[in-house]
Structure 1
């Protein structure tokens, strides 16, 4: 029996006591890798856009792993700037860019900020030294040199764990009215890039002709967010920036209609799905009109079928194959087994 792949995962975002429900898509990826037989150790540091935090994390990692590098086969940096921490490079390096780490920060007017330009430059720099670069949406290609081979690996959805709830059951479970039209917004209302205010404005416009209530899903366990998707009538996305918003894919998995501005990969995700719409502009009136059409849509949302290829099990196998390919190049003597979730469960 061959040895499992051993991964040191470095990330600047991870659940903490203060933010217990952070980055559920990343936690899910780690869980699925472990189920598939991959050994994963997570090194978390809080970047918070502060260079001093990155230096402290670099120093802590050098001390903590000084005599442990041979315990791992590769390093996987989640979020581009996390790839600065394991320098000098001792092991094959995988980098996943998730959004602003390769798209940069935009101001409220939509212009790239100086900090955003620096983020993109740093991401481009570390990408040149990576053995594999993963992106979650095609939008990121424009900021990466064509000479760098890219792997498209969006964040996934755990389809098997999705409960089967009717709208009435979900509303009773959450204590919500059975008679109201409910519009779901998921995101930190204090994050200007999520633009919850734009969603509120759109719902205010909508209410002049069709009564509906906006529900904010934030700071809740992931299972409660999923229950909200079953309870609500439509999801609205107004973000200024996204990479590959997991919330859209989860909504589709729950067969919940989605109205979104053009952001991340939503155009690709919502293409040809009746009851879902990508709006032509981000004016409240335009969003409100799309929400009205979605709320009046009678047919079934065939969303789950559209995201079957994004099942976390499928994406985990793809990620493992990427790991195997760079280990094979770096350590020719090692031939890693292509673990699958099915095989891990049969042991």
Structure 2
């Protein structure tokens, strides 16, 4: 374990780094890196485009070896299981964060794990056995790892400066939306089967038989505009078939936006005791529509921000740093 006076040098490896001009939901990785840096960690991010191509991983592995040869690090931190391949065989202590389908598998439109999804599971489980410490973002993901793997539960954190309550009229003016309509927000990628956009669409169609509302899709919007979408909307509708710890739900709560969701990932934990949110008993469009109608007729924000205070990224960064210190090799002589 390195001393508390030592600046920890981390090589963070990821194939999911958010880049300008490309729609992605992985801003939580950049946010974690920024908060770690603000806390005094020297974070060097290596990002590559995996795209399910072995050649990309081989080139990435070679570039990681070159970077390790040029700079002394205390440890490597892989974001998602597949990124951990680039740190093997280990030349440094390895921490891996698993965030969802890397352990749970990728699903086809019928909810079955694809062949590529099963391969990803095997790769991730193999990487986990080589790691010095692993992090999962939700308690329900721990059983996907062997009991011998040292595992910590640390959800993705929130930037409360970005995701904050904004007056609804102001948010709608910012987005050019009318003030006299009801809007239901869907933030996931409509083309990704596990997000089940069609289910959200069907639920809103059922809702419109008794109460008019428009489904607003936030996918592809600039990340800094997402808080405006959340404050412009009257509720978030969340219909994913599979998740780890969905950030959009936590971000909506930070904006005091009511959430209507199916039971998935750690959403039941997040919505627990948040009056005005709805956790659906099943995945039928009629059930989701009824929950949406109850939320819209109540017509008020929720006290969600108080419920997610413990997810402040600044606090969670300290938990990650504690893991870094526990696994890092002493390299003060390289300072």
Same fold (TM over 0.5): yes
Alpha-carbon contact 2:164-2:254 (below 8 Å) kept: no
Number of residue pairs the alignment of both structures matches = 330
Match of 1:286 in 2: 287
- Cα 1:216–1:10 change in 2 (3 A) is same
The runs of at least 4 aligned residues of structure 1 exceeding 4 Å deviation read none
- Cα 1:162–1:117 change in 2 (3 A) is closer
Separation of aligned partners in 2, 1:27 and 1:66: 21
* 1:218-242 C-alpha deviation (Å, 9 max, x unpaired): 1112221111111110000111221
Match of 1:104 in 2: 105
Aligned to 1:15, the other structure's residue is in SS state coil
Taking structure 2 as the reference length, the TM-score comes to 0.94
Q: CA deviation at 1:17?
A: 4.4
Task: List runs of 5+ in structure 1 lacking aligned partners.
Answer: 335-347
Match of 1:45 in 2: 48
Alpha-carbon contact 2:81-2:103 (below 8 Å) kept: yes
Separation of aligned partners in 2, 1:81 and 1:279: 33
Q: CA deviation at 1:298?
A: 4.6
Aligned to 2:87, the other structure's residue is in SS state coil
* 1:245-277 C-alpha deviation (Å, 9 max, x unpaired): 111001001100001111111011111211111
- Cα 1:36–1:119 change in 2 (3 A) is same
Alpha-carbon contact 1:155-1:310 (below 8 Å) kept: yes
Task: List runs of 5+ in structure 2 lacking aligned partners.
Answer: none
Q: CA deviation at 1:318?
A: 0.9
Aligned to 1:85, the other structure's residue is in SS state helix
Q: CA deviation at 1:153?
A: 0.7
Separation of aligned partners in 2, 1:251 and 1:163: 9
Match of 1:4 in 2: 7
Q: CA deviation at 1:3?
A: 3.4
Taking structure 1 as the reference length, the TM-score comes to 0.90
* 1:30-66 C-alpha deviation (Å, 9 max, x unpaired): 111111111111111111122232122112322x225
Aligned to 1:121, the other structure's residue is in SS state helix
Provide the alpha-carbon RMSD of the alignment.
1.8
Alpha-carbon contact 1:21-1:221 (below 8 Å) kept: no
Task: Decide which of 36, 46, 49 is 2:39's aligned counterpart.
Answer: 36
Match of 2:117 in 1: 116
Aligned to 1:187, the other structure's residue is in SS state coil
